[in-house]
Structure 1
C-alpha cells in the first residue's frame, strides 16, 4: 500500500518561510528612528509589502498549485492589511493609494467569480444527471470549469455543505443501486454525537480559560475548536448519506466524504467475513477506522485500486477492510454478482 499526496507542500513551506523573513526585515526597518524622517523609507516598505507578497504568492503558490491567477488579489489584500499593521499611522499615505486600487481589483474579481459560479452551477447540474454522488459531481464541475483538480477547495466546500446543509439532503443513492449502510449498528452515531457535545463544552471552557491569558490566542483556539466541530458534524451526516452501493457489476465504497473508491465487481478476488478485529497489517487499508469500529469485511483485489481521500490524497492498495451493517447480505450480493458476471 502506498500513499500518494496530491500536492507537494514544499512550495507552501518556502512561501511561508520567505514571507516571515520579509515581514521580519520590514518590521526592523519600521522600528528605526529615521523611518519617520526619510520619506523614501515608508514608500520602500509599502512597495516591498504590496509587490513582494503577491509575487511570492504567485510564484510559490499560484504557479506551483495551478490556482486561478485571480487569487493573487487576495494576497494583495492581505499585504495591504499587513501594511496597515506594520507601518506607523503617520506614514501610511501610500497605502491609501493602494487601497483605492484594491477596490477596482476586487470588482474585477467579483465579476470573474460570478461568471465562474454560473459555469460551476451548470457543470454540476450536468454531472448530477449522471450520478447521485455530490462529492464526485462537485469535483467534476470544478475540473470542467478550471481545467484542473481543485481537491483541497472541494474538500472544504463539501465539509461545510454536509455540516450546515446536509441535514435536508437525501441519501446519495441512484436508481437501481443497492445500498449498504455502515452507521446503524456500529455505534458510530452515538459516539460522534457524544464527541460533538463534549466538543461544545470543551470549546466554551477553553475559550474562557485562554482569554484570561491572551485574547488573540483565545480567538485562534475558538476558531480551531469550531472547525473541528464542523468537521465532526459533516462526517456524521456524510456517513449517513453516502453508503456503499452495488449496481450493474460496479462496487462503490464511500466512508463519509473521507474515502471513496469504485471498482468492477470482477476486480474482487476474495470477499471474507471478519469475526475479530484483524491485527494491524501494512498491506490492508482499514477504512473502518473513521467509523470508530472494527471492520467486519475484507476485500482483496486482483490489482491495486486507487482509494481517493480528502484534499486529493490517494492510496494504492490490493486489500481493504470495511464495516457494513448488513454484512451477510453484502457478501451474498457481492458473491452472487461475482458468480454471474
Structure 2
C-alpha cells in the first residue's frame, strides 16, 4: 500500500477548492443571472462525478478500494446541498436516494464483518491466551489471532487498530514490561527520550483546549461543538494509548527475527537473514524526501529531534505496517535503543549464530 504523497494531497485540495469556489460564485454573483436551465445538473456532475474522480486519481488509486468512491460522492452531494440553492436541486432529489442506497449496502457489509468478529471473540480470546507466538507483545498476538479467524480487509484493519487503541488506553496501566523467554532479548527505546513527556504535555493542552473551546463553539453551533468534543476525546484516548504502547512494546530480537513496534502506529518485523548491515549512523539529520520514503523511522518524536544511533540496511525491501492497514516498502531502519551497545552486540551475535 503506497503512502499518499504530499504533492497529491495538495493538488487534490487545490482542485477541490476551485470547484467549490466556482460553483459557489455561480449562484451568488449577480451578473451571471438569470441562470440557464440545467445549471444545477452541471453542479451535481461536478460534486458527485468530477470530485470523486479527482479523489480516485490523486488519493484512492493504488492505495484504497474503489468502494471509497461512494462515500466521496455522498460527501460531494452534501457539499452540493450547501452550495446550490434548494429549489434548483428538487428536480434531482432521486440522486441522493441512489447514493444513500449504495452507502447503506456498504454499511450492511461492514456490519456483517462486525457481526462475524463478535461471533469469533471466544475463539480469538482463547487463541490469544494459549497460542504463544515468537513475538510476545499482546498487540501482535491480538492482531494475529483476529486475522487467523477472519480474512483481512481494510475495514477489519481499522477495527483492529481501534481495539488496540482502546485496549492500551484503558486496560494496561498496571501492566509491566514483557518477560524475556526463549532466548529473546528486549530493548526499551523511550527512557532516554522526552517523547512520553511530550505526549503528557499534549494531553494537558488538549484537556484545557477542549473545555474552553467547547463552550465557545457551543455558543455558536451545538453540532460543531459536539463534533469537536468527540474528536478531542478520541485524540485523548489515542495519546494515552500511545504512552502505554511505547512503554510496553520494546524492540525484540529473537533467534530468527527483529521486531520493531513503535507505539501504536508503526511495526516492522525483519528476518535476521534479511539484514545486510548495522552501523552507527553518521548521515544527515534530515533526509531528502526520496530517501525518507525508503527509511523506517523508529526514533520517537522528541522536543529536540536528534540523529538516530543506528542504521540497519536490508538485503531487499521489507514491508512496514502502520495503523489502519497502511503499508510501505522500506530498505533501511533508523533507531535509537536505550542501550545501544548491548543492542548492537546482541544483534551481531544473533546474526552470526
TM-score (normalizing by structure 1): 0.71
> What displacement does 1:288 show?
3.8
Alignment match, 1:69: 112
For this pair of structures, how many residues does the alignment match?
281
Alignment match, 2:301: 291
Residues 190-339 of structure 1 mapped to structure 2, 5 A cutoff: 190-274=197-281, 278-281=285-288, 282-283=290-291, 284-288=294-298, 290-292=300-302, 293-294=305-306, 295-338=308-351
CA contact (8 A) 1:173 1:245 kept: no
Determine which of 104, 112, 136 is the counterpart of 1:57: 104
1:40-83 CA deviation, whole Å, 9 max, x = no partner?
xxxx99xx96x97354332x5666xxx45366xxxxxxxxxxxx
CA contact (8 A) 1:288 1:321 kept: yes
Structure 1 vs Structure 2 CA RMSD = 3.4
> What displacement does 1:181 show?
0.5
Counterparts of 1:288 and 1:313, CA distance in 2: 16
- SS of equivalent residue, structure 1 residue 291: coil
Unaligned runs of 5+ in 2: 5-59
CA contact (8 A) 1:15 1:61 kept: no
Counterparts of 1:277 and 1:173, CA distance in 2: 36
Determine which of 118, 121, 140 is the counterpart of 1:117: 121
Counterparts of 1:301 and 1:129, CA distance in 2: 24
Counterparts of 1:143 and 1:286, CA distance in 2: 24
TM-score (normalizing by structure 2): 0.68
Unaligned runs of 5+ in 1: 33-43, 72-108
Counterparts of 1:334 and 1:62, CA distance in 2: 48
Alignment match, 1:168: 174
